[in-house]
Structure formats: structure tokens, C-alpha cells
Amino acid sequence: MKKGKLINSEISHVISKMGHTDMLTICDSGLPIPKNAQRIDLALKEGVPSFIETLDTVLEELKVEEVVIACEIEDISPNLYEKIVKRFKDIKITKVAHEEFKNLTKESMAVVRTGEFTPYANIILKSGVVF
């Protein structure tokens, strides 16, 4: 049995295939998921699992060199924005308009849908390298 915190086989598989700058999206329950993207749906009910809980678990396994968030999060969901910034102190945070963010998700290897109901609780993680 897998020893680490991340035991979801679909997410583990996607991370194991990721190379430098490949992207993985973690989103709230309302973000439209592109039809051609691999959809990993974890949502059970409102708040379960939460965006932050899912993000923290993925970060246990994935080396991240840059993140992309919608600029609207800073004004609409400032508490969540601060939690994100705290996790990526030494990592580049790129802010784009929400419409551009949705277009970028089309390039993600997969989109992980959470049960989060907080507006703009979405992030694109760009893979770094461990060497």
C-alpha cells in the first residue's frame, strides 16, 4: 500500500506522468471543466473535500515552480487568497483574469474538482523539477 498522504490513484498517476511545466488544475465545484481534460471528481458535498485540504495533499507529492490563479480571488475571496499566498512564498504566482484562467485549464493534464463552494477557489500548478 502507498505510504504517502496522497492515496488517490488517479491523481498519483497524473503526477507521476508530469514533466517540467506540465499543469494540474485544482478547482472549486463550479469551474467548468474542459471536455477534453481528464476530470478527477472528488466532490462529495459542499466543502468536502475542501480546496485547501486537496491542495495541501497534492503539494505533498508535486514539485511546483509556478502557480496561476484568477486575479478576482484577491477581492472576492481574500481569506482564501491569503492562504494560497502563504503556501507559495518562494514560488511565482501569476494572476490572470478568470476567463483566461478557464482557457488555460484546457492545457492541464487533469482537473481535480473539489467540493469547495468559495468563489474563485481554483489554481493551476505548474510542475517543477526535483533536481
Candidate CATH numbers 3.90.120.10, 3.40.1650.10, 3.40.50.10480, 3.40.30.10; the one for domain 9-127? 3.40.1650.10
Strand, coil or helix: 103: helix
Three cell numbers, residue 41: 471528481
Q: Within the chain, which residues score under 50 in pLDDT?
A: none
pLDDT of residue 4: 79
Annotated binding-site residues read: 28, 98, 120-122
The total of other beta-carbon atoms located within 10 Å of residue 98's CB is 17
Listed by start position, the domains of the chain span: 9-127
pLDDT of residue 67: 98
Feature table: binding site for substrate: 28, 98, 120-122
pTM above 0.75, yes or no: yes
The whole-angstrom separation of Cα 69 and Cα 100 is 10
Please enumerate in sequence order all residues whose Cβ is within 8 A of that of 21, keeping only pairs 6 or more positions apart, or say none.
Answer: 65, 126, 127
The residue from 13, 20, 39, 92 that is catalytic is 20
Tell me if residue 20 is catalytic: yes
| Model pLDDT, residue 1 | 63
CA distance 24 to 41: 13
Q: Which residue is listed with cell 492545457?
A: 107
